[in-house]
A and B are shown apart, each in its own frame.
Chain A
């Protein structure tokens, strides 16, 4: 069975550009999480969805960040406009009814 799928795996962009990260959760999982990992702040939750509905977005840094989950098998995290301080590894994770979260391989974002 496929795990959590994220795309792209690497993204290099220039400051001011729009960036869209994509995630496909494990089939049947009903919770989806977006995390960011940086050296300074470690792993931190940005937002999570239960049954496609955003539950807690308190970790979203600012209005430049937005996330959607139009259906149970797809989610996006968008940054517009991007800034160099957004450079990080972004992980998507999914779980079934609050059990252990399984993580995707991550997207390494570099904003120049």
Chain B
């Protein structure tokens, strides 16, 4: 199966620390899409980013940044200067080249940011 693996199951940091969540994926597609979603304690799934496999530029959005390394099939997510409100479960996901179909999710990384 072309799965998505999130290396860390749980991470605990102290506020203001930087933290990186690792994601490794498998795919036979030449074109595909990668995603990160956040699931806070309230339970909803919040879209964070979508990345095309042809675009290997790193992306920064405020305190969030993403590092896409096609050579190692990784799409890692870094939070800089973490805050308590960042505490959540974060999911990495992959979508196949059809671009209309399902997301394959990793098992999630639970991030706890302590004050």
Within 8 A of A (CB), among B65-112: 91, 95, 98-103, 105-108
Give the total of A residues in contact with B, Cβ under 8 Å: 25
CB-CB nearest in chain A for B107: A42
Give the total of B residues in contact with A, Cβ under 8 Å: 20
Say yes or no: A100-B100 contact (C-beta < 8 A), given A42-B107, A42-B108, A43-B91. no
- Whether the pair B100, A105 counts as a contact (CB closer than 8 A) is no
Is the C-beta of B50 less than 8 angstroms from some C-beta in chain A?
A: yes
Is the C-beta of B43 less than 8 angstroms from some C-beta in chain A?
A: yes
Within 8 A of A (CB), among B1-43: 35, 37, 43
Is the C-beta of A101 less than 8 angstroms from some C-beta in chain B?
A: yes
Interface of A is mostly: strand
Say yes or no: A105-B44 contact (C-beta < 8 A), given A42-B105, A42-B107, A99-B50. yes
Which residues of A come within 8 Å of B, CB atoms?
31, 33, 42-45, 48, 50, 55-56, 59, 89, 91, 93, 97-106, 108
